[in-house]
Structure 1
């Protein structure tokens, strides 16, 4: 009888020991999983991704927020993991992520006067001319695109688009396949050429008259951080300098190889540009990669940014056969200027970093 009584507390001790060990291992596992969101949060807050290899994992920042929320849910659901200090730490991590991400999901709701003039723009990286030219021309036709920026389109891609009928829809063209970006337009272009700034390759620029005002266009294609993160950072810095010199009537559209969580992109936006997706509450757009059976589009590298003289009305992504990027289509409206004279004379500063180039 004595042996039986003695065995009862021993068995209870063993159960408590197993529970403590299980809890310790569970908390350790949660901590290991949360190391990723915590590290990315530190990088996001400190800007350590600019010019460093940390730029690559920063594209996963929104996913790290989801991961943190899932871990918090597990800790709340499993009683053995309900440690006050652990829950407080994880909750703080979730709150920090949410605070940084929520603004891009909340539409700004800016008023657009009914008589505002619209500008319909699109951008697509053609993947070295791999995009189906007929599909791209059909996109321009059905979406009634006014301005199209194309990136990574070689000379044979230019010819293919011309044969598919793009020239009939957009007869005004500033083509620089050797520099990886070109501009097509329904309306006449002026002051067209390429930039003379410190980028891996010149960016194609032009101006288009819309509603009696001149809108500066920049077809953007930066270097990619996986290839040379310093080169990519310099490209983004050069674009930021251009944005500071531009007036409110400006549209920078293209493949930035950057997400909204990258420090260089945030600096570019702080120079006076607005991301149309974030402005309209489409904060988790995904434009790359496309065409992979096992990997869906996960991150946004392609953006339409505009100055304060314009406002976004709508934005969306379109999939085209043959390219690994989704096209971005945006409808912008020109906000009324304080005076027509002011709008005509000072809505756009002269482009001081451009050189003329060949046109069609």
Structure 2
């Protein structure tokens, strides 16, 4: 009797995986629950191997075929980001870009300045940047290390700043997700790189796909970001989206590349790390998107004390 139940139970387990893989490949994103759940697609892909293994052990042909199709669908979605590829050929100036979500500026200012001294970024994107944080990092000498800045401090999660070793100027006002005036905002600036070439920068802070008005704000805040084209552009920060979100893939398809994906590190998880159980599954919501004409020499994530995000450090080569 138990043996007879194995096959129907396997089919029962396989159906949710098939639905997950189908929704992911179709790109349909019903809001709130699925927009959060789809972030964990890499874990679902790994778990989908279990019904395949059982099907192989019991040697049930139809079940093996179905499980292979489901696992294959997940592999199509997930595996490419773990394989380096698609890098541009570029031989211009090198830019090291560090982006940090400060968790309401909970990161100690001295820790932030120490990281800048140690890693020597050319560009620093700071999210959730408060007035007090600005005052403290200035006292600690950040402006001597990175003398150019475009900063709009705020309270809690609203503020942002871009610091640079190279000349920097504002590029209009902050970019908000229409019509959500209370949403986090993206901060644009224009960098003049060595040799005189200008590069558009955006410190990204998208809404989270959570409850209330933020559910609608989430996709809008990604779509508010400028598409690729024209002047070289680098978007770096907290996108609150993974490569399994269709809205982020649509933005990338305008002519960007994801730095982690290009270097085969697209499964480097960045959130949540602070005050969470060690085994709580992590997702990759912090990204560096760059114009496809820009090459990526290196991408890594860095632990920052007192914030739930990993910082991203990317070494880019301009054309």
TM-score (norm 2): 0.90
- Kindly tell me: are residues 100 and 144 of structure 1, through their superposed partners in 2, closer, same or farther at Cα, counting changes over 3 Å? same
8 Å contact from structure 1 (residues 223, 235) kept in 2: yes
**Cα separation, partners in 2 of 1:148 and 1:296, compared to 1, 3 Å:** farther
- Determine if the alignment matches structure 1 residue 66 to structure 2 residue 58: no
**Residues 175 and 188 of structure 2 are in contact (CA less than 8 Å); yes or no, is this contact kept in structure 1?**
no
Q: What does residue range 113-132 of structure 1 map to in structure 2 within 5 Å?
A: 115-132=91-108
Matched with 2:162 is 183
Q: Which residue of 1 aligns with 2:80?
A: 103
2:218 to 232, 236, 254: 232
C-alpha displacement of 1:325: 0.3
1:75 aligned partner: 55
Matched, 1:22 2:11: no
Counterpart in the other structure of 2:174: 195
Are the equivalent residues in 2 in contact too, given 1:121–1:145 (CA < 8 A)?
yes
- 1:104/1:281 contact within 8 Å kept: yes
Which moves more between the two structures, 211-220 or 48-57? 48-57
Equivalent position of 1:170 in the other structure = 146
Q: What's the CA shift string for 1:124-177, capped at 9, x where partnerless? A: 110001112222212212221011111112211222222332222112111112
Q: Using the alignment, how far apart are the partners of 1:153 and 1:40 within structure 2?
A: 37
Q: Does the C-alpha gap of structure 1 residues 257 and 111 become closer, same or farther in structure 2, counting only changes over 3 Å? A: closer
Cα shift at 1:182: 1.4
Could you say which structure has the larger radius of gyration?
1
Contact 1:274 1:305 in 2 (8 A): yes
- Residue 68 (structure 2) aligns with: 91
Change (3 A) 1:28 1:182: farther
The 2-side partners of 1:39 and 1:255 are apart by 28
Aligned residues: 308
The 2-side partners of 1:172 and 1:268 are apart by 29
Q: Say whether the 8 Å CA contact 1:248–1:310 is kept in structure 2.
A: no
The yes-or-no answer on 1:277 pairing with 2:260 is yes
- TM-score, normalised on structure 1? 0.80
**Cα offset for 1:34?**
2.8
Structure 2 residues not aligned, in runs of 5+? none
> Which residue of 1 is the match for residue 21 of structure 2?
41
Q: Name the CA distance, whole Å, in 2 between partners of 1:180 and 1:50.
A: 30
In 2: Cα distance, 1:202 partner to 1:224 partner = 12
- Classify the secondary structure of the residue corresponding to 1:120: strand
**Residue in 2 that maps onto 1:319:** 303
Superposition CA RMSD, Å: 1.9
Number of the residue aligned with 2:197: 213
Per-residue deviation, 1:112: 4.2
- Separation in structure 1 between the aligned mates of residue 206 and residue 277 of structure 2, nearest angstrom: 27
Counterpart-to-counterpart distance in 2, 1:169 and 1:314: 22
